[in-house]
Amino acid sequence: MRRSFQKLSPYLWRYRRGLFLGMGALIVKDIAAAIQPLILGAGIDSLTRGFAISKVLWLSVLLVVLSAIKGLFQYWMRVILIGMSRDIEYDLRNSLFEHLVTLSSDFYSRYRTGDIMARATNDLSAVRMMLGPGLMYWTETMLTFILAAGVMAWVDWPLTLVALIPAPLVSLVVVLFGRMIHTRFEKIQGMFSDISSRVQENLAGVRVVRAYVQEDAELKNFDRLNEEYVKRNISLARASGMFMPLLQALIGIAFLIVLWAGGSRLLAHKLSLGNFVMFNVYMGMLVWPMIALGWVVNLMQRGNASLARIYEMIEERPTIAAPANPKPLVDVRGEIELRNVTMQYGGMTALDNVSLQIPAGSTIAIVGHTGSGKSTLVHLIPRMMDPTEGTVLVDGNDVRDYSPGDLRSQIGFVPQETFLFSASLADNIAFGVKTATKEQIEAAATLAGLSSDIAGFPKGFDTMVGERGITLSGGQKQRTAIARAVLRNPRILILDDALSSVDTLTEERILTGLQEMMHGRTTILISHRVSTVRHADRIFVLEHGAIVEQGNHSDLIGKGGYYAGLYQKQLLEEELEAI
């Protein structure tokens, strides 16, 4: 538990003023509550010695004033400390999201989206409950116990020792059940992550589920996960259910001990009636803290388990990070070089000792069969990943010497898998360019061959595309992504099979529109179509992660290799389509 609060110390320190004020209000409230039984005991003892109306009124007024002070400070205690926990939750959520967006792609291949969402929502709420009600009632419980036991010991320490006989048993129960609750809640949160991931995957892939008529199978899988989640929650409820009765039984035993031992001392005239009543009132005051202790331990253990899950992500470090003293990236020419680059994934080689040079302002193309390493190669240039061996250079400098943000700001990258946000077409095109004007957005859409499609949309550029661009066709999504890259006005443009979902006529129109924009910029085209790459200054053919052919279109046709075979195959397909 101490380790959890050490992790949260920067956030607690940020709100130290609220923490101190809240704790101050809690202390005043508990002191006011602890004084009330003393006044009650003194009043009863004074009545046994003779009735005085003035003293009764004075004591009554004092009790009312103390009750008012207790109520006022209890209100501020809750407002300040619960409010502080909300503020820390807000900051922690922002810090978590800020950290998540800095992590490299390998992190997201290890953590499921649903799992991340569960930690960013459910686990954060559990941490807030630990910092708000948990911390507040834990402190109140301890302080109330110390004040009540201290006053009781001051009045009659032998009776206090007898009354506190069940205390070690309470501590033992708290420790044992605290561990049990922590373990079971950790498993529950893991199960919640599994359920969240299953729901997210089914909603994201709902078209596939329906296309393969797997609704019933997915329902059964979800039902199985839900049943397991319920079982684990019932297991936690059983532990909590045993915890509370045990505490209440120990409280009842403590009351019986006070009644028996205190009554004996009262009859032996070793204890006054007022002090005997005061003892019973203090025991009544300890009932709520001892009951609350079970709830607080539950909150603390849940929060502790959730914080561990959150910090498991926060302690992740990006594999792609800026160097301590990054080189400035100005007046980018766009010269690219790969020197003896090897890239491996889990023992599999994607690129094998690849070396190539791309002159600044040239257009090159990369072709090869699926899995030959084309996408891996172009992902190395904006440093979406680092090579296992070798060096990638831009303008003669290792890309690892640049800040990744500076490097990527000079690159327009259209990946194979187009991702669009649930926003308008204009917002999707202008993503990453805050200063984009309406005219610039329209010009980029025209270059990408999207203008005619937008003219048919009901709201034009203000048309909402839906989650992941669900309302657009594959070709429209790709052209939107091309327009997004063009709008950045990059020095290096990478199109990773970005025209695969458009027909050859649209492809020709887009490439014609991009020619002027591509002039003077370094452009890298990846495609399975010869028609896309035939006009490139140089074409590289990848086979099993190695460059096996290179040259211009005419050179490669004459070599009779993979590229020539691909060209002949596509010529035949075009002839067959024309029949």
Query: How does pLDDT run across 181-195, given as a tens digit for each residue?
Result: 777 877 787 777 778
Assess whether pLDDT exceeds 70 at residue 49: no
Same domain, 297 and 209: yes
Q: Based on the fold, state whether residues 207 and 343 are members of the same structural domain.
A: no
pLDDT score of 109 more than 70: yes
Check whether 146 has a pLDDT greater than 60.
Answer: yes
Query: Do 479 and 542 have their domain in common?
Result: yes
Does 402 or 257 have the greater pLDDT score?
402
Find out whether 114 and 193 touch, Cβ atoms under 8 Å: yes
Kindly indicate the confidence band of residue 440, based on its pLDDT and cuts at 50, 70 and 90.
Answer: confident
Residue whose structure tokens are 């943000």: 405
Name which of 325-339, 431-445, 446-460 the model is least confident about: 446-460
- Residue 323 falls within a domain, yes or no? no
d(CA 372, CA 547): 10
- Name the more confident of 376 and 243: 376
Last residue of a domain, one of 261, 284, 314: 314
SS3 call for 48: helix
Residues in the chain: 579
Cα–Cα nearest to 272, from 262, 281, 282, 260: 262
Tell whether 200 is covered by a domain.
yes
- CB atoms < 10 A from the CB of 48, how many? 11
pLDDT for 287? 67
Q: 70-74, 258-262, 366-370 — which is least confidently predicted?
A: 258-262
Confidence class for position 526, pLDDT limits 50, 70, 90: confident
Question: d(Cα 303, Cα 1) in Å, to the nearest integer?
Answer: 9
Residue 329 near residue 366, CB atoms below 8 Å: no
% of the chain surpassing 70 pLDDT: 90
Higher confidence at residue 88 or residue 571? 88
Q: For the chain, how big is the Rg over CA atoms in Å? A: 36
Instruction: Please give the average per-residue pLDDT across 33-38, as a whole number.
Output: 82
Query: Max Cα separation, the chain?
Result: 123
Same domain as 347, residue 234: no
Integer Cα distance of 78 and 137 in angstroms: 10
pLDDT at 123: 85
- The distance of Cα 405 from the centroid of its chain, to the nearest Å, equals 22
Which pLDDT belongs to residue 72? 94
Considering Cα of 20, then 24, then 30, then 34, what sign does the dihedral take?
positive
Q: What is the DSSP secondary structure assignment for residue 164, as one 8-state letter?
A: T
Q: Is the pLDDT of residue 480 over 60?
A: yes
How many domains is the chain partitioned into structurally?
Answer: 2
Decide if 42 contacts 55 (C-beta within 8 A).
Answer: no
Instruction: Indicate whether 291 and 394 sit together in one domain.
Output: no
- Residue 524's SS3 state is strand
- Judge if 399 and 300 occupy the same domain: no
Higher pLDDT, 277 or 377: 377
Q: What is the CATH number of the domain that holds 400?
A: 3.40.50.300
Higher pLDDT, 248 or 348: 348
- Among 264-268, 312-316, 451-455, 501-505, which range has the highest average pLDDT? 312-316
* Residues 327-350: tens digit of each pLDDT: 888 888 889 999 999 988 877 888
Instruction: Let me know if residue 289 belongs to a domain.
Output: yes
Q: How far is CA 409 from CA 129, 390, 406, 480, 485, in A?
A: 41, 24, 5, 19, 10
**What is the percent of the chain where pLDDT is above 90?**
6
Q: Is it the case that residue 578 has pLDDT exceeding 60?
A: no
Q: Is residue 320 part of a domain?
A: no
Q: What tokens appear for 67 in the block?
A: 């009750």
Note down the domain range covering 453: 336-578
Helix (H, G, I), strand (E, B) or coil at 421: coil
pLDDT band at residue 24, thresholds of 50, 70 and 90?
A: very high
Residues 460 and 503 in one domain: yes
Q: What is the mean pLDDT of the chain?
A: 81
Domain of residue 66, CATH code: 1.20.1560.10
> Are 272 and 390 found together in one domain?
no
Average pLDDT rounded to a whole number, residues 425-454: 83
pLDDT score recorded for residue 26 = 92
How confident is the model at residue 288, as a pLDDT? 67
Q: What is the distance between the alpha carbons of residues 480 and 28, in angstroms, rounded to a whole number?
A: 63
3-state secondary structure of 328: coil
Helix, strand and coil percent figures for the chain, each rounded to 5: 65, 10, 20
Question: Which range among 37-41, 472-476, 566-570, 572-576 shows the weakest confidence by mean pLDDT?
Answer: 572-576
Per-residue pLDDT band for 574 (boundaries 50, 70, 90) equals: low
Examine residue 329 and state whether it is found in any structural domain, yes or no: no
How high is the pLDDT of residue 43? 75
Task: Please give the backbone phi and psi of residue 270, each rounded to the nearest 5 degrees, phi first.
Answer: -95, -5
The answer as to whether 319 is a domain residue is: no
**SS3 at position 84:** helix
Structure confidence at residue 212 as a pLDDT band (50, 70, 90): low
414 in Cβ contact with 518 (< 8 Å): no
pLDDT value at position 461? 80
> What CA–CA distance (Å, rounded) separates 512 from 190?
53
pLDDT over threshold 70, residue 171: no
Q: Same structural domain for residues 273 and 408?
A: no
Residue 500 is classified by DSSP as T
Domain for residue 440, yes or no? yes
| Per-position DSSP letters for 424-491, written without gaps between them | BHHHHHTTT-TT--HHHHHHHHHHTT-HHHHHTSTTGGG-B--GGGTTS-HHHHHHHHHHHHHHT--S
What pLDDT sits at residue 28? 92
Q: Are residues 188 and 54 in the same domain?
A: yes
Q: Distance between CA atoms of 302 and 300, rounded to whole angstroms?
A: 5
Q: Are 167 and 247 in contact (CB under 8 A)?
A: no
Amino acid 114: pLDDT: 74
Position 222 pLDDT exceeds 90 = no
Rounded to an integer, the average pLDDT of 404-411 is 87
In which residue are the tokens 């914080």 written?
307
* Any domain includes 325: no
- At 156, the pLDDT band (50, 70, 90 cuts) reads confident
Which pLDDT does position 294 carry in this prediction? 66
Clarify whether residues 288 and 379 are in a common domain: no
Report the alpha-carbon distance of residue 556 to residue 564 in Å, rounded.
Answer: 6
Whose tokens are 């003896």? That residue is 340
Given a cut of 60, whether residue 579 has pLDDT beyond it is: no
Rounded mean pLDDT of 436-452? 83
Residues 394 and 446 sit within 8 Å (Cβ to Cβ): no
Residue 409 to residue 404: CA distance in whole angstroms: 8
Rounded to the nearest 10°, the torsion over CA 6, 11, 12, 15 is: 170
- Quote the CA–CA distance of 390 and 368 in Å, as a whole number: 22
Match 């120990």 to its residue by tokens: 250
Residues 388 and 498 in one domain: yes
Q: Are 457 and 463 in contact (CB under 8 A)?
A: yes
pTM score, two decimals? 0.69
